Amino acid sequence: MDFSFTEDQLSIQSMVRDFAQKRIAPVAAEFDAKGKFPLENIREMGQLGLMGIEVPEEYGGAGMDSIAYVLAMIEIAAADAATSTIMSVNNSLFCNGILKYGTEEQKQTYVRAVTTGEAIGAYALTEPQSGSDASAMHTRATRDANGDWVINGKKSWITSGPVARYIVLFAISTPGIGAKGVSAFIVDTQLAGFHAGKTEPKLGIRASATCEIEFTDYVLPKENLLGTEGKGFSIAMGVLDAGRIGIASQAVGIARAAYEATLQWSRERKAFGHPIGTFQMTQSKIADMKCKLDAATLLTLRAAWAKGQAEKHGGRFGTEAAVAKLTASEAAMWISHQAVQIHGGMGYSKEMPLERYFRDAKITEIYEGTSEIQRLVIARAETGLR
């Protein structure tokens, strides 16, 4: 097996690491405290190609592969998880879905705008009464006399909802037949009938704006249907497979930042006349942190490789994505927890970033499929039973 990266992959990793440490890390704590959306950095990331790493150059993207995307996401997340959340949604959920299922006109109009940083994209699947059971949505899309779509309903927990110009939306177009009645649409938030609610006061990733959105007799041109009518649920699930690789990458970045901070602390902090890294209890924690971090990293890279193989030769990569997301998210939570513990009182203080890593890590076990859903996906794939 060859675990080496290409020159292009190493180049983007180096570039993103430099950008993240110089432009994102210095303001991460301030933006977290204020819940301030990092718009300027997001615009600059668009100019660098980071908002569409796998998007072909003809649509304004960087034209790179899934491995490059993972490496870049890890670097951004290590500096600030909130910024990586915005990046993940734009890359994995918005651009990926339109590239795979959209028309040429949709790709040129919506993908190009988001990848260049001109606009911000979002993804609207969850509703107040339907989280893991996504097919239980209530939002309706009906045809008017002109064949256009009239949308009514609410969506919740929409990442970048307060600032997004375009949103990939899922709604019931044929009621009474469950998931087969769901269709996907590309909506423009500047059209009449769209309303963004208050920004949610979250535990972590606070600089990533999240809100409820509402559609009231919102009229959408018929050409804004994404894919074919009734295929929305399969589009949503397919896009989430790619999205889970992004969240796994985010989790690896958070875990790596917490681990590296702990290594430095264990060398410098002294107790009873010795660096705390010489104590067996601390050494045991560090060894376990290292093992979990490496496992999460390699499984995330495997999932990205599997995605690339599926795109070239056909097939699925959902199980690999679920394994990566489950392993990496739980590793991030465990590693950040141990990092706070090893730092003691300073780990609990906002003077250091450990408590932010701990708060940010938790969401990786929840969004784009909870850990419980990942286990369900994996078990069903392994047993063939439902």
1 occurs within a structural domain: no
If asked whether residues 372 and 253 sit together in one domain, one would say yes
Average pLDDT over residues 9-38: 98
If asked whether residues 248 and 356 sit together in one domain, one would say yes
Structure tokens, 10: 């190493």
- Weakest-pLDDT range from 130-134, 142-146, 373-377: 130-134
If asked whether residues 208 and 281 sit together in one domain, one would say no
Average pLDDT over residues 248-266: 98
**Which of 103, 120, 137 is the last residue in one of the domains?**
120
115 occurs within a structural domain: yes
pLDDT of residue 1: 72
Rounded distance, CA 178 to CA 234, Å? 12
Check whether 239 has a pLDDT greater than 90: yes
If asked whether residues 214 and 260 sit together in one domain, one would say no
If asked whether residues 142 and 220 sit together in one domain, one would say yes
Structure tokens, 179: 């998931």
97 neighbors 241 (Cβ within 8 angstroms): no
Give the pLDDT band (50/70/90) at residue 133.
Answer: confident
pTM: 0.96
Check whether 197 has a pLDDT greater than 80: yes
What domain range is 163 assigned to? 122-232
Catalytic residue numbers, as ranges: 368
The tally of domains found in the chain comes to 3
If asked whether residues 244 and 375 sit together in one domain, one would say yes
Check whether 296 has a pLDDT greater than 80: yes
pLDDT of residue 3: 85
If asked whether residues 260 and 364 sit together in one domain, one would say yes
For 92-132, how does the pLDDT look when each residue is reduced to its tens digit (9 = 90+)? 999 999 999 999 999 999 999 999 999 999 999 999 988 77
Average pLDDT over residues 267-291: 97
If asked whether residues 274 and 344 sit together in one domain, one would say yes
Give the DSSP letter string of 272-328. TTEEGGGSHHHHHHHHHHHHHHHHHHHHHHHHHHHHHHHHHH----HHHHHHHHHHH
372 neighbors 132 (Cβ within 8 angstroms): yes
If asked whether residues 361 and 287 sit together in one domain, one would say yes
